[in-house]
Structure 1
């Protein structure tokens, strides 16, 4: 399993509109091959700051399967205009200790 982690800064005053758009976008992401689950967290200290965590089966499910799909274009239309600055997406794998 791969964890996609993104720190998002939503433009001032657009937080409620963003959360509504994100609810719509969930239909897109949750139907994507390899999607497992997600969490969206609102920062308590910084208005408009969010942490998005998405679990994927594989890195390629996100970077190729989703990002190169027609559905990703719909995701972009719904969400990308809210971000300033545009976020950096990073992927993580669990460290296993034996």
Structure 2
């Protein structure tokens, strides 16, 4: 299992619209090949900063399957207008739980 962590900065004043768009997009991640869950977290100290956590079976499920899909284009169409800058994305694996 791989966790995608995307740090997303949104344009100030668009937070609620961004959150609504992510909620609308959640099914895109859940039906994706290898998609096993998604959560959006909002920073308390920096209210325009979010972290998107997506669980994937494999790294390739995200980087190849999802990013090469029409659902990825739909995701970006729903949320891209709110980005203040390009998201910073990394992938992690659990080593202690």
TM-score by length of 1: 0.92
Q: Whose Rg is larger?
A: 1
Alignment of 1:8-27 (within 5 A): 8-27=8-27
Q: What do the CA deviations read for 1:25-52 (whole angstroms, capped 9, x no partner)? A: 1121111010111221111101211111
Q: Aligned partners of 2:56 and 2:42: how far apart in 1?
A: 21
Structure 2: tracts of 5 or more residues without a match:
none
- Equivalent position SS for 1:53: strand
Give the total of aligned pairs: 96
Structure 1: tracts of 5 or more residues without a match:
none
Runs of 4+ in 1 over 6 A off after TM superposition: none
Q: CA deviation at 1:2?
A: 0.4
- Equivalent position SS for 1:84: coil
Counterpart of 2:42 in structure 1 is 42
C-alpha RMSD over aligned residues: 1.1
Q: CA deviation at 1:94?
A: 2.1
Alignment of 1:53-92 (within 5 A): 53-92=53-92
- Equivalent position SS for 2:38: strand
TM-score by length of 2: 0.93
